[in-house]
């Protein structure tokens, strides 16, 4: 089914040497995932047990303050909580009781650990057990860590989903489980594709509510839609479920390869596969061709951020005509990222972890046409004349599967198009505004 694609490279970059440097990391911590998870799981409340910094991060991380009805909050540790841990547990119980009394719609409560709660060894698993007993069966209380000392950015979602896996009921049914939080519209598209292929029943983790949760067991096979779910992957395997390894469903090639892995597993015929995918594939190819015009023959440099870097590099190099200079990832997981890395021709520098100053030196030296980086770096690099794409937008925007393939290419093309449109005679950043450093 993949005969129309560029043939895979004879040597992919799975075995390329990996540059590992240790220094300042310019990444969010795992708490950030709460921003999308609390919208996705509609009967859940996320209670961070942390500091004022955690609360401030949550409100700043999206780049703006989001004032929709929040189903997350921070129990801010105070001086007195640090002195006696038993008191901290009593305080936590009190805050949770108040919260649940005020929010009868909440069916799942996640206690989310943070750097300070980890460092003082506040045992949230004990708290979750205790609170589950107290509030069962109405409310299930789980805990995970979104702390920066253990997780980066999208790993928070991984930790959250991994925490849910052990409490899912057992089941012998042969079912497909699709794992990863997707925007509702994308999730629906995916379900309709799988339905067309005759694959089912299909379950989704995270489910939109606790009532929609699924059983799991040795006959479960699962596919990941996000490349940052390593712990969830491990937790599912511990329950006996089997992973269908595949490239991630970005663009025409990624989506087709992802669906092929499932189709093969479920014995879907070639005719059915073609019948279901031909039309959306044609649309995706046309949309990519149009949107990716400004990207052809341009170079891209990835700072480690969302963990989406490898599949996106696969998409940009193989479907949009770009070349990758460096692909930085917070961490690399061979079982998850391998299939995409096989498809990326060797050449780009693969890096894991970060020393941001050294990486900035490499980036400035290489002067890529497009740099994918976090919000803290984007404007400073733009001011140096480099075009950037903020990585966080890739997490918040519907970009998976066929119908979004053109949008995904357009997200990368927009900064370049914009640069082409603007014509301020020879300026980068304004001088003398009190903002520009010398």
Given 14, 74, 189, 225, the residue binding other proteins (CB under 8 A): 74
d(C-alpha 92, C-alpha 201), whole Å? 40
- Collect all residues with Cβ–Cβ distance below 8 Å to 279 and sequence separation of at least 6: none
Instruction: Show the site string, 162-201: x = touches other proteins by CB under 8 A, - = not.
Output: ----------------------------------------
Given 14, 26, 255, 261, the residue binding other proteins (CB under 8 A): 26
Q: How far is the CB of 51 from other proteins (least distance, A)?
A: 4
Dihedral-angle region of residue 178 (phi above 0 means left; psi in -120 to 50 means alpha; beta otherwise) = beta
Given 38, 112, 147, 160, the residue binding other proteins (CB under 8 A): 147
DSSP per-residue letters across 213-253: ---B-TTEEEEESSTT-HHHHHHHHHTT-EE-----S-HHH
Q: Is 21 in the site for other proteins (CB under 8 A)?
A: no
Which residue stretch of 144-152, 180-188, 275-283, 411-419 sits at the interface with other proteins (rule: CB under 8 A)? 144-152
Q: Is 359 in the site for other proteins (CB under 8 A)?
A: no
Which residue stretch of 63-71, 183-191, 194-202, 278-286 sits at the interface with other proteins (rule: CB under 8 A)? 63-71
- Collect all residues with Cβ–Cβ distance below 8 Å to 12 and sequence separation of at least 6: 341, 342, 343, 344, 345, 346
d(C-alpha 185, C-alpha 431), whole Å? 44
Given 13, 34, 37, 55, the residue binding other proteins (CB under 8 A): 55
- Pinpoint the alpha helices (H) of 292-373: 309-319, 334-343, 356-366
- Half-sphere exposure (CA, 13 Å, Cβ side) for 361? 4
Nearest residue to 29 via CA among 56, 68, 67, 64: 56
Q: Is 109 in the site for other proteins (CB under 8 A)?
A: no
Angle at Cα 133 formed by Cα 130 and Cα 134, nearest 5°?
85
Which residue stretch of 24-32, 33-41, 313-321, 337-345 sits at the interface with other proteins (rule: CB under 8 A)? 24-32
Rank residues 79 and 297 by Cβ distance to other proteins and give the closer one: 79
With the CA atoms of 13, 19, 24 and 30 taken in that order, what torsion angle do they form, in degrees rounded to the nearest 10? 40
Q: Is 85 in the site for other proteins (CB under 8 A)?
A: no
Cβ atoms of residues 179 and 67 within 8 Å: no
Rank residues 78 and 172 by Cβ distance to other proteins and give the closer one: 78
d(C-alpha 262, C-alpha 432), whole Å? 58
Could you tell me the two tokens for 57? 């991060």
What 8-state DSSP symbol labels residue 361?
H
Instruction: Show the site string, 360-389: x = touches other proteins by CB under 8 A, - = not.
Output: --------------xxxxxxx-xx------
Residues 399-428 that bind other proteins (CB under 8 A): 428
Q: Is 231 in the site for other proteins (CB under 8 A)?
A: no
Given 34, 37, 44, 75, the residue binding other proteins (CB under 8 A): 75
Which residue stretch of 78-86, 158-166, 219-227, 315-323 sits at the interface with other proteins (rule: CB under 8 A)? 78-86
Given 1, 18, 19, 99, the residue binding other proteins (CB under 8 A): 99
Residues 265-294 that bind other proteins (CB under 8 A): none
Q: Is 42 in the site for other proteins (CB under 8 A)?
A: no
Given 6, 17, 56, 134, the residue binding other proteins (CB under 8 A): 56
Q: How many residues bind other proteins (CB under 8 A)?
A: 74
Which residue stretch of 10-18, 66-74, 303-311, 315-323 sits at the interface with other proteins (rule: CB under 8 A)? 66-74
Q: Is 352 in the site for other proteins (CB under 8 A)?
A: no
Given 65, 421, 422, 425, the residue binding other proteins (CB under 8 A): 65
Q: Is 91 in the site for other proteins (CB under 8 A)?
A: yes
Q: Is 136 in the site for other proteins (CB under 8 A)?
A: no
Rank residues 259 and 392 by Cβ distance to other proteins and give the closer one: 392
d(C-alpha 40, C-alpha 33), whole Å? 11
Rank residues 77 and 322 by Cβ distance to other proteins and give the closer one: 77
d(C-alpha 77, C-alpha 402), whole Å? 45
Rank residues 121 and 138 by Cβ distance to other proteins and give the closer one: 121
- Pinpoint the alpha helices (H) of 266-355: 270-291, 309-319, 334-343
Q: Is 393 in the site for other proteins (CB under 8 A)?
A: no
Sign, CA dihedral 175-178-181-184, equals negative
Cβ atoms of residues 22 and 325 within 8 Å: no
Q: How far is the CB of 429 from other proteins (least distance, A)?
A: 4
Nearest residue to 225 via CA among 187, 189, 197, 173: 187
Given 88, 139, 160, 186, the residue binding other proteins (CB under 8 A): 88
CA 294 to the chain's CA centroid? 26
């Amino acid at each position: 089914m993949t005969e129309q694609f560029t043939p895979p490279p004879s040597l992919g970059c799975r075995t390329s040497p990996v540059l590992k440097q240790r220094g300042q990391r310019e990444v969010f911590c795992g708490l950030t995932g709460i921003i999308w998870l609390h919208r996705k799981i509609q009967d859940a409340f996320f209670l961070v047990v942390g500091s004022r910094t955690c609360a401030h991060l949550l409100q700043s991380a999206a780049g703006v303050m989001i004032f929709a009805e929040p189903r997350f909050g921070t129990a801010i540790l105070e001086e007195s909580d640090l002195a006696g841990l038993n008191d901290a547990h009593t305080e936590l119980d009190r805050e949770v009781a108040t919260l649940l009394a005020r929010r009868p719609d909440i069916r799942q409560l996640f206690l989310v650990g943070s750097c300070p709660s980890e460092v003082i060894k506040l045992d949230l698993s004990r708290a979750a057990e205790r609170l589950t007993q107290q509030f069962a069966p109405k409310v299930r209380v789980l805990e995970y860590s979104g702390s920066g000392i253990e997780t980066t950015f999208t790993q928070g979602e991984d930790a959250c989903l991994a925490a849910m896996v052990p409490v899912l009921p057992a089941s012998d049914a042969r079912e497909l489980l699709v794992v990863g939080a997707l925007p509702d519209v994308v999730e629906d598209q995916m379900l309709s594709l799988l339905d067309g292929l005759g694959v089912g029943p299909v379950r989704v983790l995270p489910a939109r509510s606790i009532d929609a949760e699924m059983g799991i067991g040795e006959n479960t096979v699962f596919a990941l839609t996000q490349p940052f779910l390593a712990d969830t992957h491990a937790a599912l395997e511990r329950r006996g479920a089997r992973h269908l390894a595949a490239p991630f469903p970005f663009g025409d090639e990624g989506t087709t390869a992802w669906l092929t892995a499932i189709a093969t597993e479920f014995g879907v015929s070639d005719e059915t596969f073609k019948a279901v995918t031909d039309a959306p594939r044609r649309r995706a190819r046309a949309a990519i061709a149009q949107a990716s015009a400004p990207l052809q023959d341009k170079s891209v440099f990835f700072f480690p951020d969302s963990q989406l870097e490898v599949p996106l590099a696969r998409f940009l190099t193989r479907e949009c005509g770009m070349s990758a200079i460096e692909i930085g990832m917070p961490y690399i997981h061979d079982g998850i990222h391998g299939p995409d890395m096989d498809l990326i021709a060797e050449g780009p520098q693969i890096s894991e972890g970060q020393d941001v100053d050294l990486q900035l030196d490499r980036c400035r030296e290489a002067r890529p046409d497009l740099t994918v980086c976090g919000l803290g770096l984007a404007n400073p690099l733009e001011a140096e004349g480099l075009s950037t794409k903020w990585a966080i937008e890739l997490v918040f925007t519907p970009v998976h599967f066929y119908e979004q393939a053109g949008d995904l290419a357009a997200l990368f093309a927009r900064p370049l198009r914009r640069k082409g449109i603007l014509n301020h005679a020879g300026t980068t950043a304004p001088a003398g505004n009190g903002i520009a450093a010398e």
